[in-house]
Structure 1
Amino acid sequence: MKKAVAMLLAICMAVGLAGCGGGSEPGAGGGEGTTIEHPSSIVICASNSGNIWYSCAVKISELLMKEFPDMSVTVIEGGGDANIDVVNLGTDAQLGFTSSTSLVPAFAGENENVKDCSNVKALMSVQMSYAQTAVLASSDIHTFADLAGKRVAAGTYGQVAMYTMNALLEGHGMSEADLAGGAYQIVSPSEYPDQFSDGHLDACHINGNLPMATLVQIDSTDPIRLLQPTDEALEHILEKYPSFYTVDVPANQYAGQPDPMKLLAYDGMLIANGDLPGEFLARVVELIAESGEEMFNRGSWEQCGTFVTQDNTAPEVYDLLKSKGSVE
């Protein structure tokens, strides 16, 4: 009799604990009867609300809340380098977007703008960003060398755009000191159209999708064209900064760009706080890679593992990517 009572109590306790957990979703992430431990809420830090990273983060939030109905997901604004520190801490955001140009050197201890990334896990590449240096088509600026003494904006300090522009100038044997006033014009990309129309800028640099809405706005009133980096400059950048790659761009992305080009590009990557369950992180990757969303143009199994290694991600994520042929 005592043994029967003890067994009954044990069963009741087990049922009670299962009901109080709140951190698992039966049937989610892998089929009927499976359970994935997950947080009750997630915050994703992205970019400014008009940027493609923000749009990607919103779509990811929708995928997550559909997969885990008991989990709330919030998207907040952020920035490439800063997001690494925020996600590392895990208080204000647990998932986030950053660039391969920020993350790869951060993991190597070579990104001076990142304080700590010891608790950050790389999950996957999600979206390609094209490095675009634009001038008015009517301008006498035809090469990067022509930027000497010109008023050039590359966003604000700490943004990936300035890091990218620094690399492009370096590849052409130049630096910020060669520009008008010996420095960039510190202008938010959202202000580029007004700055051009008011005659305050000669050139601007911006990273993102192609065509880029900010540049399209300028292009609609004054046709623009993009500057083509030289082959020598691209070779120098790719050798020194392995977080970049090049991509062929068709003609006519903007009214003043009649020829195809080869541009510098990098990946927008999803990162996670290392305290999140590995199985949950693997499911996040799987949801994105298999979503078929066009905006996740680097999120396919073939491309999403480009900058992910066994050392910089969760074991469950690495095993998943390896099983899909995304990593070696």
Structure 2
Amino acid sequence: MKNEALFIKVALLFCFMTGCSFMNEQQEISKPATTLIQRQLTSEGQDLNNRMLIIGTGDMTGVYFSLGQRLSNMYEKYNGAVSGTQVTQASIENTELVSRHRAEIGFTTVDVLDLPETDKSKLRALTALYSNYVQIVTTKQNDIHSLEDLVGKRISVGTAGSGTRLIAERILLESDLPTDQLNLSYLSFSQSAEALRNGTIDAAFFSSGIPNNEIAFISNQTELTFIPIPGDIIERLQKQYGVYTHNEIPRDTYRGMKKNVQTISIKNVLVTYKEMSDPHAYNLVKTLYEHLPELQHTHPAASDISINEATKQVPLDFHPGAMNYFTEQGIIENQ
């Protein structure tokens, strides 16, 4: 095991020296390395010392990425893990990476868990997190105020593999807008923000914790309009999928907002694979909650993470190691 740990550290050092940083680029882990990681994380042990942890995040400007980096630092600092983040297309890709043992941990929205392509038998929940808010954004000069106004407009609905694209397409489908009159593009958060700034798109969907960094940045440069989601569409989505919550974007979230905006929110969850050992899953959750203030200091969205809500609104079996921790804390009895 010591030789394996030394091999990992040397490999990581080589990566950093040659520019393949875990923190800044998407990594494709080779099959032999993945097998080694799997063997380490499924082996028995009381801590994460010298264990490789890859955390699937999302767009580098999104909340997943900033929280993933902080978690990575925490697991290195408090557990001695060799940890790094992987830039991904977010929720759907993260569940795929984790189920294939290409990442040990991944952030995802709960609506992704019931997709046909998500193999829930291979995944286990570690803890519920904060909620994503659907934010449909345009600039004031576009004179767009409702979903109906999107007809004939250029709209970014998020990248393939993202929870943003999933919920954007569901909302547009429920709106009964003529699909042949919607000019859709599939851009990341940063690409959507830049396209709004330079006028190459008219509106963009963002599904993220609030405030979204990219929206906050452009709100300081130009006046924005936030498009509300009608109540009847929210009700149909709730009835059909059962994981969406009627919510509002508070008017003090971004500069220039004059009123709360009706929308839906979706719970986020941290997932791992079924074969993760109980002691390792236990320690992943234990470190997160024992040092939660550090995570909450990273982004305001994390202030909604609460151990009292850790097992609620998650349509996925929890890992036994995580449940052991929640039982110790008296949380299971309170559900």
Q: TM-score range by the shorter chain?
A: 0.7 to 0.9
**Separation in structure 2 between the aligned mates of residue 205 and residue 137 of structure 1, nearest angstrom:** 16
Q: 1:158 to 1:42 in 2, by over 3 A?
A: closer
Specify whether residues 74 and 194 from structure 1 end up closer, same or farther in structure 2 by C-alpha distance, changes over 3 A only. closer
Residues 129-208 of structure 1 aligned to structure 2 (within 5 Å): 129-174=132-177, 176-180=179-183, 184-208=184-208
Cα deviation, 1:171-208, whole Å, max 9, x if unaligned, reads 3233644413xxx1233331223322332211111121
Which residue number in structure 2 is paired with residue 43 of structure 1?
54
User: What residue in structure 2 maps to residue 7 of structure 1?
Assistant: none
Amino acid at match of 2:274: G
The one-letter amino acid paired with 1:248 is E
Q: Which structure 2 residue ranges, 5 or more long, are not aligned?
A: 6-44
CA–CA separation in structure 2 for the residues paired with 1:179 and 1:195: 17
Q: How does 1:35-184 map to 2 (within 5 A)?
A: 36-38=46-48, 40-69=51-80, 71-78=81-88, 79-90=90-101, 92-103=102-113, 105=114, 110-112=115-117, 114=118, 116-174=119-177, 176-180=179-183, 184=184
Paired amino acid for 2:106? G
Q: Distance in 2 between matches of 1:174 and 1:297?
A: 36
SS of equivalent residue, structure 1 residue 297: helix
- What code does the residue aligned with 1:268 have? N
CA 1:188–1:47: 2 relative to 1, 3 Å: closer
Does residue 226 of structure 2 align to residue 226 of structure 1? yes
Q: Read off the aligned partner of 1:233 and give its amino acid letter.
A: I
> Which of 315, 318, 321 pairs up with 1:316?
321
- Find 2:303's aligned residue among 287, 297, 302: 297
Deviates more, 1:92-101 or 1:315-324: 315-324
For the 8 Å contact 1:61–1:73, the answer to whether it is kept is yes
Shift of 1:317: 2.0
Which amino acid letter does the alignment assign opposite residue 274 of structure 1?
A: K
Instruction: Check conservation: 1:154, 1:205, Cα contact below 8 A.
Output: yes
Distance 1:141 1:301 in 2: 40
The Cα shift of 1:272 comes to 0.8
Q: Which has the higher helix share?
A: 2
Equivalent AA in structure 1 for residue 103 of structure 2:
A
CA contact (8 A) 1:223 1:254 kept: no
Q: Counterpart of 1:36 in 2: which secondary structure?
A: coil
Q: State the Cα distance separating 1:241 from its structure 2 match.
A: 1.9
Identify which range, 157-166 or 252-261, moves more after superposition. 252-261
Identity across aligned pairs (percent)? 17
1:37 CA drift (Å): 4.9
Give the match's secondary structure for 2:94: helix
Residues 110 and 314, structure 2, Cα contact 8 Å, conserved in 1: no
Q: Secondary structure at the match of 2:185?
A: coil
Structure 1 counterpart of 2:140, which letter?
Answer: A
> Which residue number in structure 1 is paired with residue 268 of structure 2?
268
Distance 1:321 1:327, change over 3 A: farther
Structure 1 gaps, min length 5: 1-16, 23-34
Distance 1:287 1:51 in 2: 23
User: Is this contact kept in 2: 1:169–1:175, CA < 8 A?
Assistant: no
Cα distance change of structure 1 residues 268 and 326 upon mapping to structure 2, 3 Å threshold: farther
The 1:176–1:254 alpha-carbon spacing in structure 2 relative to 1, beyond 3 Å, is farther
Residue type of the alignment partner of 1:228 = P
Q: Which residue number in structure 1 is paired with residue 13 of structure 2? A: none
Structure 1 pair 21–186 and aligned structure 2 pair: CA distance change class (3 A):
closer
Alignment TM-score, normalising by the size of structure 2: 0.76
Instruction: Give the aligned CA root-mean-square deviation in angstroms.
Output: 2.7
8 Å CA contact 1:306–1:326 kept in 2: the answer is no
Larger Rg: 1
Q: Indicate the SS of the match to 1:229.
A: coil
The alignment of Structure 1 onto Structure 2 pairs a total of residues equal to 286
1:320 positional shift: 3.5
